[in-house]
């Protein structure tokens, strides 16, 4: 076992896991919006970026049988740093008049989207390697001890991605008066930060003994076991209802999430709130993430005291119903920024609290033989649940307008209630209690 303290590498490793995920799935939305892409196009193409996280169980055996987890981590970090830098080089530079007119077609962004997909596949592969490396380098006691640390620094990555990077881009937009150049510089800064983390990891990441010594199993044996994990998953009792729950529990969020940034940035004449790029970054990257973390912590404490079954109803309702704040803002068009902050904080707190039940249910359903692989399959359905509705969200919003779109989101809350009602009956009442 390496003598290096986990504090030397766990914070940076999980910051590096979180940051590219949010660059791909969150920053891309803001950037494409500011460069004049239509809501329909940006929702469709950025939702498809979830695909690598949906299908990553399909190539996870390769990460297990080829080279070491440490090698995969460093290789993927090099690829991600290079691809983020490449994004800055190929970013289209539409004129201010084209951006103001909106509705710029997808064709100028094709190369940008291709590089985003490369980044997404590298990030999903990095997730597989990093989580496996964590379990190899640490014994079970230290795995439990540092789970809060890894989750915290993953969330710090989200604060940096959703907040700091967007605020930098907004400040540069104001200073330069050139939106494409502002985002080009922002991406270069992001690439330099990620490159520094990669160089640090080359020297600091330990070399776990078990990571270098592969077990005496052939590729055929690995794939046979891989096939058994799929077969046993789909033979689990209640599997189809569980899949339906995993796909539909977050339906209100799945439709709304891709439209929240456009809603914040669009002017009041288009039904939006007219915030600047920097204001949008501050709303979601600071207050929103803090409220999300607080809700998640409270959700964990509640589940530990009362168990999943007892907490499922309040958590489901807290995840679904706070979406109403966006309907309120679409109707009221609040002028005071503190009202927008309060609404987003309320929504994100409810989401953090309600998402706890979703995570616990996936753990509950995955329990048993192959629980690690089965949990990975559950997370694939989780990614799919966000990808498919998000693909159509922009088209629906452009057809309905923001107010009617958020009315539709509220109707989707009934789906959350329905699947919660059905699944709750099957949950062991003691599951999740300390």
Most confident stretch, 1-10, 25-34, 189-198: 189-198
- Predicted confidence at residue 120, as pLDDT, reads 94
pLDDT, one tens digit per residue, over 19-49 is 999 899 889 999 999 999 989 999 999 999 9
SS3 sequence of the chain: CCCCCHHHCHHHHHHHHHHHHHHHHHHHHHHHHHCCECHHHHHHHHHHHHHHHHHHHHCHHHHHHCCCHHHHHHHHHHHHHHHHHHHHHHCCCCCHHHHHHCCECCHHHHHHHHHHHHHHHHHHHHHHHHHHHHHHHCCHHHHHHHHHHHHHHHHHHHHHHHHHHHHHHHHHHHHHCCHHHHHHHHHHHHHHHHHHHHHHHHHHCCCCHHHHCCCCCCHHHHHHHHHHHHHHHHCCCCHHHHHHHHHHCCHHHHHHHHHHHHHHHCCHHHCCCCCCHHHHHHHHHHHHHHHHHHHHHHHHHHHHHHCHHHHHHHHHHHHHHHHHHHHHHHHHCCCCHHHHHHHHHHHHHHHHHHHHHHHHHHHHHHCCCCHHHHHHHHHHHHHHHHHHHHHHHHHHHHHHHHHHHHHHHHHHHHHHHHHHHHHHCCCCCCCCCC
| pLDDT single digits (tens) 308-341 | 899 999 999 999 999 999 999 999 999 899 999 9
pLDDT per residue as tens digits for the range 210-251: 666 555 566 677 777 778 888 888 999 999 999 999 999 999
What is the average pLDDT across 148-156?
Answer: 74
């Amino acid at each position: 076992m390496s003598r290096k303290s986990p504090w030397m590498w766990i914070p940076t490793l999980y910051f590096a896991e979180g940051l590219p995920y949010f660059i791909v799935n969150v920053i891309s939305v803001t950037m494409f919006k500011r460069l004049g892409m239509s809501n329909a196009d940006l929702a469709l193409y950025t939702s498809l970026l979830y695909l690598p996280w949906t299908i990553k169980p399909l190539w996870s055996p390769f990460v297990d049988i080829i080279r070491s987890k440490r090698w995969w981590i460093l290789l993927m970090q090099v690829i991600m740093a290079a691809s983020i830098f490449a994004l800055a080089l190929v970013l289209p530079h539409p004129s201010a008049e084209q951006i103001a007119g909106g509705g710029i077609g997808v064709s100028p962004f094709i190369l940008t989207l291709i590089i985003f997909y490369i980044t997404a596949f590298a990030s999903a592969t990095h997730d597989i390697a990093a989580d496996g490396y964590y379990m190899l380098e640490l014994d079970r006691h230290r795995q439990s001890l540092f789970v809060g640390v890894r989750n915290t620094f993953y969330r710090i990555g989200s604060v940096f991605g959703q907040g700091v990077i967007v605020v930098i881009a907004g400040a540069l937009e104001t200073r330069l008066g050139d939106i494409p150049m502002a985002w080009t510089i922002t991406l270069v800064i992001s690439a330099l930060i990620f490159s520094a983390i990669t160089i640090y990891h080359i020297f600091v990441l330990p070399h776990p003994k078990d990571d270098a010594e592969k077990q005496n199993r052939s590729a055929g044996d690995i794939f046979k076991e891989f096939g058994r994990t799929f077969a046993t998953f789909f033979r689990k009792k209640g599997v189809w209802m569980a899949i339906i729950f995993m796909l539909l529990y977050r339906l209100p969020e799945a439709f709304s999430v891709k439209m929240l940034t456009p809603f914040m940035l669009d002017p009041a004449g288009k039904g939006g709130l007219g915030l600047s790029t920097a204001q949008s970054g501050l709303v979601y990257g600071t207050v929103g993430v803090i409220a999300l973390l607080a809700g998640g912590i409270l959700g964990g404490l509640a589940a530990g005291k009362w168990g999943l079954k007892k907490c499922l109803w309040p958590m489901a309702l807290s995840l679904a119903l706070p979406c109403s704040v966006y309907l309120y803002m679409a109707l009221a068009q609040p002028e005071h920024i503190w009202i927008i902050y309060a609404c987003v904080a309320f929504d994100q707190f409810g989401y953090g609290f309600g998402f706890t039940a979703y995570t616990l249910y996936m753990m509950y359903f995955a329990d048993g033989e192959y629980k690690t692989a089965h949990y990975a399959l559950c997370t694939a359905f989780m990614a799919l649940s966000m990808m498919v509705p998000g693909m159509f969200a922009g088209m629906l919003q452009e057809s309905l307008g923001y107010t009617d779109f958020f009315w539709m989101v509220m109707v989707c809350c009934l789906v959350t209630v329905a699947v919660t009602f059905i699944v709750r009956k099957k949950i062991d009442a003691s599951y999740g209690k300390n």
